[in-house]
Amino acid sequence: MEYIKLISQTLLDSSAMFLLCNYLSNKRIEKSNKNLSWIIFINLVYIFSRWSVLVTDNYIQPTVDFIGFDILPVNSLYGTFLLCIFLMIANSIYLNMENSQAFFATIASIIIWIFIRILAVVPFKLISVQNINIYEYGYRIVTLLLILIFVLKLPLYKFKEYLKNNSYITKLILLNSLIALLVLVWSFQFDVDILIKNLAIVVFVFFMLLVINIWSIVSQRNVINQQKRVEVMEQYIPVIDDLMSEVRARQHEFNNKLLAIYSILETAETLDDAKLKVGTYSKDVLMDDSIKELFICDNKVISGFIYSKIKLANLKNINIELNICASLKKIYTEEYEIVEILGILIDNAIEASKSGDTIFIKMNKIDDKLEVTVCNPHPQLSNTEFMELFEKGYSTKDNGSKHRGYGLYNVKLITEKCRGKIIFKNTSIDNVNYLNIGILIP
């Protein structure tokens, strides 16, 4: 009976820990031999951490310990160290994490585990559950349920992105949090009763960790955003110089044309002759409507970026018609994020178009939100097919490249982050079907 209790308790704990590690590895929960192997391997680690041998003069008796495992699946400093090592090994082998990712995913899993386990175990202690089985199985089941809700409902894609990219601040936050929490657990000797007596200290430590980590994350985000703003400005502000050079060249040409037209009017023998010659001289001097729209735009970076895309499309004999009916000054979304979204949408439209086609780009204000849409000729799509375009890894292009299928998925992530929404529909222009894809962002 003792061994059944041991296996069932460790199985609940290993299953809960698997959900956390699998979540931080950016994998879906699914049945597989590797996932089952992960659970079995860690379950054996938990079992052996409770196993001890009692040696006397007359006999050797194996014993199982059930005391001190309420917070962590181990109850000693040495056991905690081994737990971290075995979790890293399991994450690396069975969840296919790289060494650095496995290390920080393990740390993050233990931190989240401690928070959730204390949240689950404290109520059972406070209401003084008398039945030991209800107590020991109760908080373990609650832990499993809370972790299941955590991995299914919380949209922490940015945290997982930082974890995967090994952000310096993320590493620092994880290491500081782990050290603080483990010192707290060790100082209470892995005993929930001591923790309850010092609950005020625990709450204070949790609060300070939360404040420090939020401050660190916000600071990191501000630094990253500033770096991206500078990068975008350095890349596209010089393009404005090319646009101004084109305008100055057109202005010089325009002045010459005016002189020529004046001469024509002076020397023309008939009115029809004057009209013909004036028309010939003036048709090439008119500025493209899209270039005019760029001067209406009150954001130089976005103007420069769109101008570079217009030039790229012109090289492929694809026309871009631009319509800007909105100010880009008072918007919540970061400038570089709009550039990234526009880049993906315009590049996709250019790739899907052929020589002679026209792409329509429109920016409009709707209820204090910015609507950006890009239209290009394409056969009609159903709603299901539109939804598939925004799925991770989905691509209508050559699937030989591992980088395919992430463009519109990234648009979806940025839009969700900015609390916006995706726009997609079929539009008929001159009896030709166009795909109209865009975003509505604050």
Q: Is residue 241 part of a domain?
A: no
In this structure, the answer to whether residues 193 and 312 fall within a common structural domain is: no
Q: What is the pLDDT of residue 239?
A: 60
Strands of the 319-325 sheet, one edge to the other: 319-325, 358-366, 369-377, 432-441, 421-429
Coil, strand or helix at 322: strand
What's the one-letter identity of residue 325? C
Q: What is the pLDDT of residue 89?
A: 93
Q: Is residue 254 part of a domain?
A: no
Q: What is the pLDDT of residue 238?
A: 62
Q: Is residue 258 part of a domain?
A: no
Q: Is residue 204 part of a domain?
A: no
Quote the CA–CA distance of 85 and 129 in Å, as a whole number: 34
Q: Which residue has the tokens 């400038």?
A: 335
In this structure, the answer to whether residues 183 and 306 fall within a common structural domain is: no
Q: Is residue 123 part of a domain?
A: yes
Quote the CA–CA distance of 154 and 147 in Å, as a whole number: 10
Q: Is residue 274 part of a domain?
A: no
Domain boundary among 174, 197, 220: 197
Coil, strand or helix at 60: strand
Residue 355 half-sphere exposure toward CB, CA atoms < 13 A: 3
Mean pLDDT by 10 residues, the chain (442 residues): 84 91 78 88 89 67 78 86 91 86 86 90 81 86 90 65 63 82 84 85 84 79 72 63 60 60 66 67 58 74 81 88 81 81 88 90 86 90 83 59 59 84 88 89 84
Q: What is the pLDDT of residue 1?
A: 67
Domain boundary among 181, 197, 213: 197
Domain boundary among 197, 212, 227: 197
Quote the CA–CA distance of 303 and 235 in Å, as a whole number: 12
Q: Quick one: DSSP state of residue 59?
A: -
Q: Could you tell me the CATH number of the domain that includes residue 415?
A: 3.30.565.10
What is the pTM for the complete model shown? 0.58
In this structure, the answer to whether residues 303 and 166 fall within a common structural domain is: no
Phi-psi region of 26 (alpha: psi -120 to 50; beta: other; left: phi over 0): left
Q: Is residue 354 part of a domain?
A: yes
Coil, strand or helix at 370: strand
Name, in order, each residue with C-beta under 8 angstroms of 78's C-beta and a sequence gap of 6 or more: none
Q: Is residue 270 part of a domain?
A: no
Provide DSSP, 426-441: EEEETTEEEEEEEEEE
Quote the CA–CA distance of 213 and 223 in Å, as a whole number: 15
Structure tokens at 423: 């726009």
In this structure, the answer to whether residues 7 and 150 fall within a common structural domain is: yes
State which residues form the domain around 103: 2-197
Domains: count for the chain = 2
Name, in order, each residue with C-beta under 8 angstroms of 74's C-beta and a sequence gap of 6 or more: 46, 49, 80, 82, 83
Quote the CA–CA distance of 346 and 365 in Å, as a whole number: 20
